[in-house]
Amino acid sequence: MTGFVRIARYARYVGTFFVHFVHGGFVAAGVIVLALVTLQVSRHGMAGLSLDHFAPGRAIVSEEESGGDEMLAVSGSQLSPDLMRVAQHIARKYKVSTAALEPIVIEAQRVGHTHKIDPLLILAITSIESSFNPLAESPFGAQGLMQVVPRFHMDKISAERGGLALFDPAENIRVGTLVLKEYMRTTGSLEAALQQYGGASEDASMSYSNKVLGEMQRLQTVRQTGAAKTTTAAASGKTVVALRSPG
């Protein structure tokens, strides 16, 4: 396949993915697609334009990272049935395709497994921060799915990925999870860590952490039963456990 054909097919794929997340006319869409194509070529050369790198059902995970976990084997949907229910729920809520969301939920599943963090916590933060728009950017400079501010976390970002690193969903989820773990270690509690993540450490009402944990509980209900409920973590009186035991 010629390089031109690969570029054209890749641009069409990225354009479709972009449309799933961004509604309305967007003059800059073509510029963003071109930038993503250029970034991929700079990373991997022409081989990087193979659609195998971007197929929705493919998890970006090495054999060493997977640790032999069958759930992460590169085949089929790769999502456990309970997380597939979560993906379908999120797709309905935000009016995007399940195919576009699957790679994001797969990455939350993989990163959560690696760092012993419930993937629903990762997805809940993503929901609150960006509504699952991987190209979101705030006036403050927070970028991507989990709205990471790059200048504060350069030590966690892969240097070889360049200035657009945090618009890569996999990299953003990886870095955002590392930020959360660091805050959990330094603050000593999940709630305080979430408040720091949301830039609201001084908020005595803990509104940000309550919002995230409430969304996490709704996702837990979907994971267990397939139907969302409107109760929040605070209203239920139940403790939401974010850390999972090893294994």
Report how far residue 26's alpha carbon sits from residue 49's, in angstroms, rounded to the nearest whole number: 24
Residues 84-131: pLDDT tens digits? 999 999 999 999 999 999 999 999 999 999 999 999 999 999 999 999
Report how far residue 19's alpha carbon sits from residue 26's, in angstroms, rounded to the nearest whole number: 9
Counting residues of the chain whose pLDDT is more than 90, the rounded percentage is 55
> pTM for the whole thing?
0.64
Cβ-proximal residues to 163 (8 Å cutoff; 6+ apart), any chain: none
DSSP letter at 19? Answer: H
End-to-end CA distance of the chain: 43
CATH of the domain at 179: 1.10.530.10
Whether 73 is in a domain gets the answer no
User: Bridge-partner residues for 117, per DSSP?
Assistant: 243
CA-angle at 222, arms to 216 and 226, nearest 5°? 175
Whether 108 is in a domain gets the answer yes
Instruction: Say how many domains are in the chain.
Output: 1
Whether 188 is in a domain gets the answer yes
What Å distances lie between residue 131 and 3, 41, 50, 70, CA to CA? 35, 29, 28, 30
Whether 74 is in a domain gets the answer no
Cβ-proximal residues to 4 (8 Å cutoff; 6+ apart), any chain: none
Identify the domain containing residue 113 by its residue range. 79-236
Whether 97 is in a domain gets the answer yes
Q: How many CA atoms lie within 13 A of 59 on its CB side?
A: 24
Residues 124-169: pLDDT tens digits? 999 999 999 999 999 999 999 999 999 999 999 988 777 899 999 9
Report how far residue 143's alpha carbon sits from residue 171's, in angstroms, rounded to the nearest whole number: 11
pLDDT at residue number 9: 54
Whether 7 is in a domain gets the answer no
Whether 144 is in a domain gets the answer yes
